[in-house]
Amino acid sequence: MRRLVAPVLLLAAWLALWGEISVVNVVTGVAAAVIVSSFYLRAPRGRHRIHPIGLVRLLAVFVWRLVTSSATVVRTVLAPTPARLRSGVIAIPLSDPSPLVAAIVADAISLTPGTLTLEVRYPGNDDRSRPPSLYVHVLGLAAVDELRDDVRGLERLVLSAITPDRTETATTTEEASA
């Protein structure tokens, strides 16, 4: 019964958007609901717990980093110095093997001006049961250890906001070995 709720709501939305109930609208609405339900409304493979307070903290820190790094990039553009223009790629090992956590951390890094995640590399033969390393390009590279600590702090914030499902990593590993 639960599986019918989404397609029925999609059909109702379809008919409401067309503004009239006709045979053609009902048939195309049913077809659209079946297609959308079969491709996009499948149950997710893994469930993750979201912690609202941790999520608010993560978002606040992310917004603060956006503001401060934008100011740093503007300063670098307007008044370039060799130290500000120094750039490099560093490897930063994460502590959690979850692909979800790695993706969120990598995206947060890439969305911050002056940094870009180039690659997320899992050890060995794409072994997703072990934590990956992020390869990050940094503008204004100064203290590598401070940057690594900063990214690890970001990872801790992500983990305080979202607890990944541990079956996600196991399922991905099983699929990779098959």
Q: pLDDT means per 10 residues in the chain (178 residues)?
A: 76 88 89 78 64 90 90 90 90 89 91 89 78 90 88 92 69 47
169 and 150 both lie in a single domain: yes
Same domain, 19 and 72: no
| CA gap 153, 149 in Å, rounded | 6
pTM metric for this prediction:
0.66
**What is the domain range of residue 60?**
49-177
Domain count, the chain: 2
